[in-house]
Chain A
Amino acid sequence: MNENLTLNKDTLKRYEELLLNENMLFELNVIPQIVVNKDRIIIRANKKFSKLFGYAKEDILGKQTIVLTPSKEKFEEYRRHFVHTKDGVIKSEELEYKKSDGTLFWVKLEGNPINQQEDELFILWSFIDVDREVQYRQQLEIAKQKAEEATKVKSEFLANMSHEIRTPMNGIIGMSHLALQTGLTQKQKHYVQKIDDSAKSLLGIINDILDFSKIEEGKLTIEKVEFDLFKVIDSVINLIEFKAHEKNLEIIVSYANNVGKNFYGDSLRISQILTNLLGNAVKFTQNGEIGIYISEVDENKFRFEVKDTGIGLTSEQQIKLFKAFSQADGSTTRKYGGTGLGLTISKQLVELMDGKIWVESKKGLGSNFIFEIELEQRDTQQRDFTLFSGKKVLVVDDNSAWHEILDNTLSMFDINAEHAYNANEAIQKTYECESSYDLILMDWNMPGVDGIEAAKMINEMCHTCTKKSICTRELPPSIIMVSSFRQESIVKLAKDVGIDIFLQKPIDPSILNDILARTFLSDIKLNYSNITKQSSLKNEMSSLNANKILLVEDNITNQEIILGLLENSGISIEIANNGEEAVEKFKESRYDLIFMDLQMPVMDGYEATKLIRDINKDIPIIALTANAMKEDMQYTKKAGMNEHLNKPIEAEKLYATLLKYLSKKAIDAKEFTHAVETLLLPEFTTIDTKKGLKLLAGNKKLYLKIVNDFYNNYLNLELDKLNDDEFKRTVHTLKGLSANIGATKLYEITKKLDETQDKSLIYSWQVEMKKVLDELQSKLQLKEENQIQKTQLPHAEIKELFLKLKKAARTKRSKECKLIIDELEQYKLSSLDKKIFEDVKKLLRKYNFKEIVEILKEI
């Protein structure tokens, strides 16, 4: 480079002049530009402008800028889109302009005022061509709209399909429910149970999809009601309890002591989230414990934690966990089923409640799913239970987590508990305690000495106590048995040692409150039955038996389900197959309530309801529908229906609805013979079932039991081999029983036999008796176990059979195992053998041969 190269002053000045020549700079500018005067007339335009708009310079100069805009209206409108910035620059957003050939395209404008002469204002307008960007963006927008529309259509389709699927599901679930209540053989029962299980799990999936699509569509709303948190948690636990106990998992429920009972919020959705999280916890935990922990994090903000000691999650898995259709393990070797929608739904529900959800987990150590939601707590003062303060309570449990939880719960009642971790420690503490305990909460299942044995020892010790002079209590402490398992056998054992009160884990604080109140405030000890949950509403149905219902439903299966569910209630039910029939029937007869299907041939439920409402405004009309959408409920309400029952129909909901709308009126049993007609008993030739049922006030269950007993007691009766005394007694009893079951002819012969004691009648009696027994056997599937008389076999032979069973299990041959099990079934087994045998049967149903071999190892 030549560093000496310089420009002389003249050259510089010439260059400056040249460059200052505006015209040249304007012409060469790469940006399309024009200059307009105050009347918006174009007075100058550069080359780039001509190229962009397609005008020759001479054609455009002197014209108003209106020629560049698509229309006169736009020309005026665009003026409103110009924004004046502080430094005097005018800017526009993207605007559509017109080329000389009429093509429309998008530009952005920037105007710089040039004020060279005072009376004249010029503006230099620069055009930026943004046509391509705008086009792309518009295409993108269209694609996005299409995608959104498609998603919406898909969601609607899913919602509709789910509804369509629910209809036949109703048939499957309802029918298997009813079939399970009939006398089935073990094999049939097993099959139907599997149908029932599979159908329910399918329904769960469908409900998930339905929820998911509703949330996607934005149709799901949060409803706020007052609710009892303890009850909500209790019902959630009820749902998963069975599965958890099957896996021997301990269930823990912990309420921090600032958490009360009454809340205002969407309890249904909260229980849905908790059920989902707890369901996962059970699914992914092989041993240890699962639990719900509830605490207040802020005023009216609560934290729910669902913890487990399961397989846990890696951090990568945690990231994708809450995404729809994704699961932690999506490979072909995945161990755990599911749609992968549960957590997504939970997340969306939590967000709908203005909350957040997250997971804390370590692979192999377990997970903790946490969500926090705004929740209004009502009447917090209820938490002060100071009635029991100062009471001495001992908690006996081998699990330290339980001590913590009971401490928490008892502190709600102002009780400071003492602790023992095994039976011996409990006995020792009770012995050493000078004033003795008021109450002992005793775990049943402890290693070494179990709770029942420990209770027995404490009771005995207190009765024979020599410290009476220093012990202030006259009676031994009240002992409450605490157990995760509510088995009748344990309850019975506990009762034998004088423990009447049973408390089931996880502990519901309100139940504990009841128990403490009854233990401390009176001397009456609580019966086990008093604290167990409410029994089925079904039992209350008989109080409605004088009512008459019209069932409007075109589907025979659905008709049968309602008939079946109300079978024993005595309520009389008439059927209409469509809306028109319903209206006709309604005009002719008086009913107390109408069940109305919505979609029916000839006339649908809405129209029928309208016509019925014209005649009668008061009769309760309950819609039966597989449509679970909220809008449908609004339609039915609008049509004049009182309430909505979703298919598949749940027995308890059906009963609750009836109890709500029907007045309790029961009539004397003898009068409602018409109700008996709705019962589905087989037709007999030797037995008049109606007669038999009438004698039992229509109680079909009782009737079947009596028939069953009759069959089993007299199947092997050899009347001719009895001595006179036995003969007399047996014939007399038989006379009554044959009348009771409605075996008219048998009754007549037995009556004659009873009156005359004429043994020559035995033959004709035997013929008739055989007819009755044969018919009973063929038409009613009587309980199998009662038919088999178990025989005694030497222990060595039983052992031999068990060894054979072990061998068959080792080769994993299910059928061979089953044959041996059938053989073993015929023999009386010792209690230990019976326990092993029952366990083996359970394991075989799951094809778990490995465990079977393990169990049989000791034999």
Chain B
Amino acid sequence: MNDKKPTILVVDDTEINIDILLELLSDEYDIIVSLDGKSAIQSVKEDSIDLILLDIMMPDMDGYEVCEIIKSDENTRDIPIIFITAKTDEDSIGKAYEVGGIDYVTKPFKARELKCPYKNAA
């Protein structure tokens, strides 16, 4: 069995969200943190990532765009992406799937909801 923890890339521009995600996940997963899309794409290229938790509303480049870029690259297109979002309207969620997301989690986070999906994905 591989002892190495799965690596999750958390992309969110809000400090407090990262605080919470780290607190909930960092015991079981190796967490990489990006505050914006550009540095997330860089991390995806440099590191071996098993799952991406991606915020939608971010400065400069939004989550959809980040997802599209990752999905358009042959080397990174298979990394599962789960959107984390405060938007619960159908359009936003529909778009999340459209651009290649496999799931979404709404804010504010609920610890249990947050921990479930990655068991399968990561």
Using a CB–CB cutoff of 8 Å, the interface residues on chain A facing chain B are 194, 198, 331-335, 811-815, 845-850
B81 to chain A, nearest CB (A): 16
List chain A residues, Cβ under 8 A from B57.
Answer: 332-334
In the docked arrangement, what's the CA distance between A815 and B46, Å? 18
Interface: B61 (CB within 8 A):
yes
Q: Do A811 and B47 have beta carbons less than 8 Å apart? A: yes
* Cross-interface CB contact of B16 among A194, A333, A812, A813, cutoff 8 Å: A194
Q: Do A332 and B64 have beta carbons less than 8 Å apart? A: yes
Check A813/B31 contact, CB under 8 A, given A332-B57, A847-B15.
Answer: yes
Q: Do B59 and A814 have beta carbons less than 8 Å apart? A: no
Check A198/B62 contact, CB under 8 A, given A334-B57, A814-B33, A848-B35.
Answer: no
In the docked arrangement, what's the CA distance between A332 and B43, Å? 22
Most A Cβ at <10 Å: residue of B15, B63, B65: B15
* Cross-interface CB contact of A847 among B18, B26, B58, B59, cutoff 8 Å: B18
In the docked arrangement, what's the CA distance between A303 and B89, Å? 44
In the docked arrangement, what's the CA distance between A815 and B56, Å? 24
Q: Do B32 and A194 have beta carbons less than 8 Å apart? A: no
In the docked arrangement, what's the CA distance between A812 and B35, Å? 10
List chain A residues, Cβ under 8 A from B19.
Answer: 194
List chain B residues, Cβ under 8 A from A815.
Answer: 22, 26, 30-31
Interface: B76 (CB within 8 A):
no
B67 to chain A, nearest CB (A): 12
Interface: B3 (CB within 8 A):
no
Using a CB–CB cutoff of 8 Å, the interface residues on chain B facing chain A are 15-16, 18-19, 22, 26, 30-35, 39, 43, 46-47, 56-65
B1 to chain A, nearest CB (A): 22
* Cross-interface CB contact of A335 among B56, B60, B64, cutoff 8 Å: B60
Check A333/B62 contact, CB under 8 A, given A812-B32, A847-B18, A849-B33.
Answer: yes
List chain B residues, Cβ under 8 A from A333.
Answer: 57-62, 65
Q: Do A813 and B32 have beta carbons less than 8 Å apart? A: yes
In the docked arrangement, what's the CA distance between A850 and B56, Å? 21
Q: Do B47 and A332 have beta carbons less than 8 Å apart? A: no
In the docked arrangement, what's the CA distance between A850 and B58, Å? 17
List chain B residues, Cβ under 8 A from A335.
Answer: 59-60
In the docked arrangement, what's the CA distance between A782 and B55, Å? 39
List chain B residues, Cβ under 8 A from A850.
Answer: 39
The 8 closest A-B pairs by CB, nearest first: A335-B59, A332-B62, A333-B62, A812-B32, A847-B33, A815-B26, A812-B33, A332-B57
List chain A residues, Cβ under 8 A from B30.
Answer: 813, 815
List chain A residues, Cβ under 8 A from B31.
Answer: 813-815
Q: Can you list 13 pairs linking A and B with CB atoms under 8 Å apart?
A: A331-B62, A332-B57, A332-B58, A333-B57, A333-B58, A335-B59, A811-B46, A813-B30, A813-B32, A814-B18, A815-B30, A815-B31, A847-B35
Across the two chains, which residue of chain B brings its CB closest to A849? B33
List chain A residues, Cβ under 8 A from B18.
Answer: 814, 847
Per DSSP, chain A at the interface is: loop
Check A845/B15 contact, CB under 8 A, given A333-B58, A850-B39.
Answer: yes
Q: Do B59 and A812 have beta carbons less than 8 Å apart? A: no
In the docked arrangement, what's the CA distance between A849 and B36, Å? 11
Q: Do B22 and A332 have beta carbons less than 8 Å apart? A: no
Q: Do B16 and A198 have beta carbons less than 8 Å apart? A: yes
Q: Do B15 and A846 have beta carbons less than 8 Å apart? A: yes
Across the two chains, which residue of chain A brings its CB closest to B9? A812
In the docked arrangement, what's the CA distance between A811 and B63, Å? 21
List chain A residues, Cβ under 8 A from B35.
Answer: 847-848
List chain A residues, Cβ under 8 A from B64.
Answer: 332
Number of A-B residue pairs having CB atoms within 8 Å of each other in the complex:
53
Check A814/B22 contact, CB under 8 A, given A198-B16, A334-B59.
Answer: yes
B89 to chain A, nearest CB (A): 12
List chain A residues, Cβ under 8 A from B32.
Answer: 811-813
In the docked arrangement, what's the CA distance between A814 and B26, Å? 9
Across the two chains, which residue of chain A brings its CB closest to B61? A333
Across the two chains, which residue of chain B brings its CB closest to A810? B46
In the docked arrangement, what's the CA distance between A253 and B58, Å? 34
B69 to chain A, nearest CB (A): 14
B38 to chain A, nearest CB (A): 10
In the docked arrangement, what's the CA distance between A216 and B19, Å? 38
In the docked arrangement, what's the CA distance between A646 and B38, Å? 46
B58 to chain A, nearest CB (A): 7
B107 to chain A, nearest CB (A): 12
List chain A residues, Cβ under 8 A from B16.
Answer: 194, 198
A816 to chain B, nearest CB (A): 9
Across the two chains, which residue of chain B brings its CB closest to A194? B16
List chain B residues, Cβ under 8 A from A813.
Answer: 30-33
Across the two chains, which residue of chain A brings its CB closest to B16? A194
In the docked arrangement, what's the CA distance between A846 and B15, Å? 6
A187 to chain B, nearest CB (A): 10
B21 to chain A, nearest CB (A): 10
In the docked arrangement, what's the CA distance between A813 and B65, Å? 24
List chain B residues, Cβ under 8 A from A811.
Answer: 32, 43, 46-47
List chain B residues, Cβ under 8 A from A849.
Answer: 33, 39
List chain B residues, Cβ under 8 A from A848.
Answer: 35
List chain B residues, Cβ under 8 A from A846.
Answer: 15
Most A Cβ at <10 Å: residue of B19, B63, B64: B19
B50 to chain A, nearest CB (A): 14
Most B Cβ at <10 Å: residue of A194, A198, A847: A847
- For the A-B complex with A813-B32, A850-B39 known, give 11 more contacts whose Cβ atoms are closer than 8 Å: A332-B57, A332-B62, A333-B62, A334-B57, A335-B59, A812-B34, A812-B39, A814-B33, A847-B15, A847-B33, A847-B35
B27 to chain A, nearest CB (A): 9
List chain B residues, Cβ under 8 A from A194.
Answer: 16, 19
List chain B residues, Cβ under 8 A from A198.
Answer: 16
B42 to chain A, nearest CB (A): 9
In the docked arrangement, what's the CA distance between A815 and B10, Å? 13
In the docked arrangement, what's the CA distance between A236 and B19, Å? 31
Q: Do B43 and A812 have beta carbons less than 8 Å apart? A: yes
In the docked arrangement, what's the CA distance between A813 and B9, Å? 9
Across the two chains, which residue of chain A brings its CB closest to B15? A846
B32 to chain A, nearest CB (A): 5
Across the two chains, which residue of chain B brings its CB closest to A329? B59
In the docked arrangement, what's the CA distance between A847 and B19, Å? 9
In the docked arrangement, what's the CA distance between A846 and B35, Å? 9
In the docked arrangement, what's the CA distance between A332 and B26, Å? 28
List chain A residues, Cβ under 8 A from B39.
Answer: 812, 849-850
List chain A residues, Cβ under 8 A from B63.
Answer: 332
Most B Cβ at <10 Å: residue of A812, A813, A815: A812
B93 to chain A, nearest CB (A): 13
In the docked arrangement, what's the CA distance between A798 and B82, Å? 40
B104 to chain A, nearest CB (A): 14
Across the two chains, which residue of chain B brings its CB closest to A190? B19
Across the two chains, which residue of chain B brings its CB closest to A813? B32
B111 to chain A, nearest CB (A): 15
List chain B residues, Cβ under 8 A from A334.
Answer: 57, 59
Across the two chains, which residue of chain A brings its CB closest to B65? A333
In the docked arrangement, what's the CA distance between A198 and B14, Å? 12
Across the two chains, which residue of chain B brings its CB closest to A198? B16
In the docked arrangement, what's the CA distance between A335 and B37, Å? 12
In the docked arrangement, what's the CA distance between A812 and B63, Å? 19
List chain B residues, Cβ under 8 A from A331.
Answer: 62
In the docked arrangement, what's the CA distance between A431 and B86, Å? 64
List chain A residues, Cβ under 8 A from B65.
Answer: 333
List chain A residues, Cβ under 8 A from B22.
Answer: 814-815
Most A Cβ at <10 Å: residue of B26, B32, B34, B62: B32
In the docked arrangement, what's the CA distance between A812 and B60, Å? 20
B17 to chain A, nearest CB (A): 10
B11 to chain A, nearest CB (A): 10
Q: Do A332 and B56 have beta carbons less than 8 Å apart? A: yes
List chain A residues, Cβ under 8 A from B46.
Answer: 811
In the docked arrangement, what's the CA distance between A184 and B3, Å? 35
Across the two chains, which residue of chain B brings its CB closest to A817? B33
List chain A residues, Cβ under 8 A from B56.
Answer: 332
List chain A residues, Cβ under 8 A from B58.
Answer: 332-333
In the docked arrangement, what's the CA distance between A621 and B35, Å? 51
